[in-house]
Amino acid sequence: MSQDELRYHRAHADLHAPFGNDAFGVLAERLARFFGTPRYILAQTFVVILWLAFNGYVALHYLTTKAFDPYPFILLNLACSTQAAYAAPLILLAQTRQAARDKATEVADAKHREDLSERALEQGRQIQELIRQNTELTQAVHDLTEKVHNLVAKGRT
């Protein structure tokens, strides 16, 4: 009974490479995962604070617009908007692919549970048959024991 326990999942192996197996897919998955991490959020916050501090310091210190991105920080806004424009589709694509993987895993798990249930029912039927055979044998032993007892009892009288 050494069946492959992953046999129901192998049919969906193509879904387990989130964006495919090519270089773009691997890079896209890494980026999508990185965008949601605390490290990324803290790093982006740090860069924005540095950007604002440097440009604010230059603007106040020199009382001119020598800062490379003076208030209202249009270049910073453009950089953040561009990053968001690329990050959002990657994150949505990752979520869509994850949903497909989850669905395929759910279907495979359901098939596996059904197979296990059928095996358990078959084993239950086998146990019932063995109990029936055991009961018949026990009854036959009981009958033979009674016959032997009667023969021995008759021989004494």
Q: Which long-range contacts (CB under 8 A, 24 or more apart) does 31-36 make?
A: 31/87, 31/90, 32/87, 32/90, 32/91, 32/93, 32/94, 33/94, 35/87, 35/90, 35/91, 36/91
The ranges of the chain with pLDDT < 70 are 1-22, 25-26, 62-68, 70-71, 157
Residue 38: per-residue pLDDT: 83
- pLDDT confidence of residue 6: 62
Q: What angle do CA 76, 81, 83 make, to 5 degrees?
A: 95
pLDDT of residue 1: 45
The maximal CA–CA distance of the chain, rounded, in angstroms, is 133
Query: How many Å apart are CA 87 and CA 81, to the nearest integer?
Result: 10
Residue 130 corresponds to which amino acid? L
Task: Specify the 3-state DSSP secondary structure of 20.
Answer: strand
CA pair distance 12, 38, nearest whole angstrom: 32
pTM of the model: 0.48
Q: What is the spatial distance between Cα 140 and Cα 137, in angstroms, rounded to a whole number? A: 5
What's the confidence (pLDDT) of residue 7? 65
- Give the pLDDT score at 128: 97
DSSP state of 11: G
